[in-house]
Structure 1
Amino acid sequence: MAKGNVFSRPCAVCQATNAKYKCTTCLAPTCSLGCLRSHRDRPCAAPASADQPDADVASPTPRPLGAFLPPKKPIPGLTKSKNHGDGDDEDVDEESEEDEDEQQARIPMDKLMRLANTDEVLEALQSSRLRDVITRIDQANDDDPNKAAAREAMLLEALQTDPEFAKLVEACLGVVRAP
């Protein structure tokens, strides 16, 4: 596999060659938060087709924002989301209490989009060390059937020992809990 500079794509706004950010809608590369904000001021659209990935960029499949650790208890202020299933309503009556709690704890898409565009979160995620902490939590004991418990333990440890991680979590919760 050939090594290359990850930031070699030109900025869609000012054409600088060190694009570090991407628009969450159209994936246009930008070099700074200022250019990203400038790009967001103009209407843009999602890429035409997911079947034709950009040959210049080999990036891993992004994980959903809520994939890191689903909360055990509902977060105050969140509304219960509708079932995002395949439309099969026959099994709705048979959902367990745990499934109902999980449904209630889902974060609505509008709040996830707001979270993805929060400057404080975007800036914090530029730290490779912080991204490593999140990755370690996300991949905690993948072979363990109790991986949720292992992830929760790592999350609590990171919250207590890493002020930068705690600040990111507070910023995320601030967006999620906002009306």
Structure 2
Amino acid sequence: MMGPRKCEVCEESQSKYKCPSCLIPYCSLACFKKHKETPCTKPEPITEEKIETPCTKPEPLTVENVDSGSIIRKPCYVDEASEVLQKSKLQSIASSSEIRDSIKDEKLQKLIQNIDSSANPEYELDKAMEDDEFRFLTEKILSTIGS
């Protein structure tokens, strides 16, 4: 898991945010304004280091929306292609009644949404792992996909 990132504008403080255009980490409004003094663009989705793969995210996170196909797509960046789950493993997760029942819990939905929408998802994931139900869910998912 990656640790906290340093602000790429002042290079002093820990970043709390990411530029919505180019995704560089920054720590404050002052650094964001300084960064925006020069135009920035979205990073290239496919580079040697990063591989883009389509991700799906239910809005809101409910089993019913996943079943109905009411999903949105957003880019997902990974360091290695091996980090991307194959469709068969995703289907195994989706077909597990134990996992499906778990994600009906509003508390778990909130934890997952906090991770997904966070500027620092690694931190939110670490916090969520302190919750017994969330830890059980992650262990069940990992055992389902054989990790």
Q: TM-score, normalised by structure 2?
A: 0.49
Structure with bigger strand share is: 2
